Amino acid sequence: MPNNKTAITNKEYHKLSIQVSLNGLSFCIVDTVNTAVLLSESIHFEKERTPYGLQKGLVALLEKNSIPEKQFSEVIVIHRNKLFSLVPKPLFDADEMANYLKFNTRILANDHIAFDTMESNDMVNVYVPFVNVNNYIYDLFGEFTFKHSGTVMVESLLTNQSSHKKPVCYVHVAHQQMEVTIIKDKKLILYNSFDFTTKEDFIYYLLFTFEQLRLDTETTPMKLFGDVEEGDQIYNISYKYVNQVSIFIPSVSSYPMDFEKESIDFTVLNTL
């Protein structure tokens, strides 16, 4: 691993990706010329924070790593939350975004609503970003790009994974959060996100998803990745109820990681 204080100096070729959620934070800096990860760190909050508490944590993390002092050719912020709804592109109307969300989540009249166009599957992801975080990043770096984590997750899996005629269930596990993506023959069947505290919560949401989509727990492959490993509680309870469970090592962009690979979030790296 390079000396981070001296290696990250040439802004022309360095990109910064930041992921924010009420449960934790992560960031990654890459050198696009040498296709190398220069610096990465993740933190988990003991308790779910408010958006204000999230911003305080982000400020502390970035200042700890002297990020505000650096310059980058591109900055991307990924918002991970449950405040989203996927809408088929032909049915999308930018004037109706609040209506797409109101049946899935509680939104306030002054909430800022954004959307990502998901070209790979002709969908639009309508969501509520953390506006205070966006404002803070803009004050630091000026113009930047922001997306919802679901957009990055779905497009990365659709683009990089081989075609399967039968449904495949991908489950990304983060700190007290699970993202479930079902793909069949390069087409998205479902993407959803759930908060969980115990392994029993995890398996409840998983089996509920299987039941609603009429997926067979004996024959449907389930691929776990993120903050999970073979033999831990999440893996073991999944294997108890789903026959074909395996640890999934996803394609993580074009940047080789020679250190602490598990600590770099899938969605953080796949935005760069």
- Do 224 and 235 have their domain in common? yes
Locus of tokens 């970003």: 129
Q: At 22, is the pLDDT very low, low, confident or very high (cuts 50, 70, 90)?
A: very high
- Do 90 and 195 have their domain in common? no
- Do 242 and 191 have their domain in common? yes
pLDDT, mean of residues 7-26: 80
DSSP states of 87-132 as a string?
EEGGG--GGGHHHHHHTTS---TT---EEEEETTTTEEEEE---HH
- Do 76 and 139 have their domain in common? yes
- Do 134 and 119 have their domain in common? no
- Do 145 and 223 have their domain in common? no
What proportion of the chain, given as a percentage, has pLDDT over 90?
Answer: 63
Q: At 65, is the pLDDT very low, low, confident or very high (cuts 50, 70, 90)?
A: very high
> Could you tell me the CATH number of the domain that includes residue 243?
3.30.420.260
**What is the residue-averaged pLDDT of the chain?**
87
Q: Where is 198: in which H helix or E strand? A: none
Q: pLDDT value at position 269?
A: 60
Q: For residue 8, is pLDDT > 80?
A: no
Q: pTM of the full predicted structure?
A: 0.87
Q: For residue 259, is pLDDT > 80?
A: no
Domain membership of residue 42 as a residue range? 4-81+130-154+252-269
- Do 204 and 91 have their domain in common? no
The count of structural domains within the chain is 3
Integer angstrom CA distances of residue 6 from 2, 13, 211: 8, 15, 53
Integer angstrom CA distances of residue 46 from 43, 73, 135, 174: 10, 33, 25, 13
- Do 102 and 237 have their domain in common? no
Q: At 6, is the pLDDT very low, low, confident or very high (cuts 50, 70, 90)?
A: very low
Q: pLDDT value at position 262?
A: 47
pLDDT, mean of residues 36-59: 91
Neighbouring residues of 64: CB distance < 8 A, sequence distance ≥ 6: none
- Do 150 and 195 have their domain in common? no
Q: At 203, is the pLDDT very low, low, confident or very high (cuts 50, 70, 90)?
A: very high
Q: At 7, is the pLDDT very low, low, confident or very high (cuts 50, 70, 90)?
A: very low
- Do 137 and 261 have their domain in common? yes
- Do 94 and 184 have their domain in common? no
HSE (CB half, 13 Å, CA atoms) of 195?
A: 10
Q: At 106, is the pLDDT very low, low, confident or very high (cuts 50, 70, 90)?
A: confident
- Do 179 and 231 have their domain in common? yes
Q: For residue 11, is pLDDT > 70?
A: no
Q: At 271, is the pLDDT very low, low, confident or very high (cuts 50, 70, 90)?
A: low
Q: At 222, is the pLDDT very low, low, confident or very high (cuts 50, 70, 90)?
A: very high
Q: pLDDT value at position 261?
A: 47
Q: What is the pLDDT of residues 149-164, one digit of tens each?
A: 999 999 988 887 766 7
> Could you tell me the CATH number of the domain that includes residue 37?
3.30.420.40
What proportion of the chain, given as a percentage, has pLDDT over 70?
Answer: 86
